[in-house]
Amino acid sequence: MTQLDEESKALLRRIVERQAYRQLMVEQSRGHGLKFVPEVETQIILAQDIVHSLNIMLQIELLYAGLGGTDLVHSVRDKMERIPYPSSRLELAICLALCDRAERVAAESYVDSSCQDFAAIALSILSMDRTSTKQGEELFQRFAGEPANRNAAQAMFQRWLAMTIAALGRPGTAGDRRAVELGLRRQSCEDSVRQYLRELRPFMDACRLTLPSEAALGLTLPKELAAQAGS
């Protein structure tokens, strides 16, 4: 365990709780989504992703305990209860497309963390193959490519986009700024949101999706992106 002062430990516990929330969100969505996937080979690939996520969750729990935290799952239970499960294979596809991207963007900001244990977890997250997610993206792109499906595709996209942006953290807080100052992560939550939406743009364009307005998302976006949203 990397030696950290008490301020860093307290901040890192909150960061680890948010990471656990993201991890559980994507892992439980995959598990729930198995029932929408009839092909055995695809089920196996999806199940391998679930096992990878569970192994990462074990690493996160060990780190949390080492930071003085107790009952990590309980600490994020209220947030988890607010997450809807995908209701179809198409919604599973867009859920994983967005959750995986958010998870990867968050992990990239921790690969050079001053906490080497958390940096190792971030590298484990980035090493995931994500074949099932890529297959789902292709399925969703074909669906969204049909003009009659655009409204349904946009609605599913908006639902999961709001949750994944929120999962990247609250921009502009004292804790957000301090985490960067202490080297616990490379960039602020707002910069992670910028990176996430920038990297999401090619997928959005391919599916002819638009960035919803702040009012539709119920979130505050970086100023330059808020000006573009809803158009």
Q: Is the pLDDT of residue 91 over 90?
A: yes
Q: Let me know if residue 231 belongs to a domain.
A: no
**Residue-number span of the structural domain to which 34 is assigned:** 6-226
- CATH for 91: 1.20.1260.10
pLDDT tens, 14-48? 899 888 888 888 888 888 999 999 999 989 988 99
For residue 194, what pLDDT band results from cuts at 50, 70 and 90?
A: very high
Please, which residues have CB within 8 angstroms of residue 63's CB and are 6 or more apart in sequence? 1, 16, 115, 117, 118, 121
Total structural domains in the chain? 1
Is residue 37 in a domain? Answer: yes
Within-domain flag for 97: yes
pTM of the predicted model as reported, rounded to 2 decimal places: 0.89
Residue matched to tokens 């008490």: 6
- Report pLDDT digits (tens) over 144-181: 999 999 999 999 999 999 999 998 988 888 888 989 99
Residue 1 falls within a domain, yes or no?
Answer: no
